[in-house]
Each structure stands twice: as C-alpha cells, then as structure tokens.
Amino acid sequence: MPENTVTTPLAPMDPQDVADAFAYIRALQAGDIDTACAVADDTGPELHRLLLDVAARVFIPITAADDHDGEPCAHSFLAAALGRLLLELLCHGACLANAPGIADTITRFTDSILTDEHGDVADVLRQLEAAGMKQAMEAHPAHRTTA
C-alpha cells in the first residue's frame, strides 16, 4: 500500500504558522472580515499552505477510521479516502482552493463532524488550535516563551 497521510504522521507545524492559520479561520468564522484580511495581508501567499496544513490535521485523523479487530476493513479505507479526497478538493478544486474556501471548509467540517449538537464551533476551533500549538511547541522548543 502506498504511503499517505494516514500511514505517515504529519510533521508538526511551526507555532507561528498555527497561530496565523487559526487566527484567519476563527476571524472568518466570526464574520470579522477586517481581522481576516489583516491576517491574510500579514501572512501573505503562505496562508494558503498554512490552511492546507491545518485542514490535513483536522480531516485526516477524523477520517482515519480504526481497524476492525486489528485488520483494515473496507470502511477504514473508504473513510481515509474521503479525507484525502476532501484535501484534494481544497488543493485543486476551483471554487474551494482559495484561503476563504479552505477556512470555510474547515469550519463547516468542524461544525458538522466535530461539534456536538449544541456545541460551539468557535470553542472546538480553539481546542484544535491548542492541540496544534501544543504539538508545534513540543517539536519547536526554541519558540517557547517564558511567562
């Protein structure tokens, strides 16, 4: 089986990249276009890659279904393929492959899949950011600040 993001762990993002990507996503989710534009201006063309990195970290672990009795089953392959297909659409789909489209897809996925019926999408996005930041800080200890 060829290696993919399900079988190969994703390298941790840089802490500043995590902060920039989630600042943009959360600003758009909150309807704060001015802040989203400011983040996009500050981040520049790199924002597109950062959002795709976040999307991979949100979609792949959720769609990588557990094996059945230690053996991969049709459903685990189907779920993993769905996650990869969603990422492919974000990379190359004409209507989704821009920063607002990627951020909106992450927010909608979070709302539909990761948020409880009466949960708060913004809260789940903050939790995802905190998890990404924790992983980034562990991988890049030079970025740690003292409080």
Bridge partners of 71, per DSSP, are 68
Element (H, E) at 58: helix 46-63
**pLDDT of amino acid 75:** 62
Contact residues for 23 (Cβ-Cβ < 8 A; gap 6+): 35, 39
**pLDDT of amino acid 95:** 67
**pLDDT of amino acid 2:** 35
d(CA 113, CA 144): 32
Phi-psi region of 115 (alpha: psi -120 to 50; beta: other; left: phi over 0): beta
**pLDDT of amino acid 40:** 95
**pLDDT of amino acid 4:** 42
pLDDT along the chain (147 residues), means of 10: 47 91 95 96 93 85 66 64 73 73 85 81 91 87 56
d(CA 58, CA 143): 23
**pLDDT of amino acid 143:** 59
**pLDDT of amino acid 76:** 63
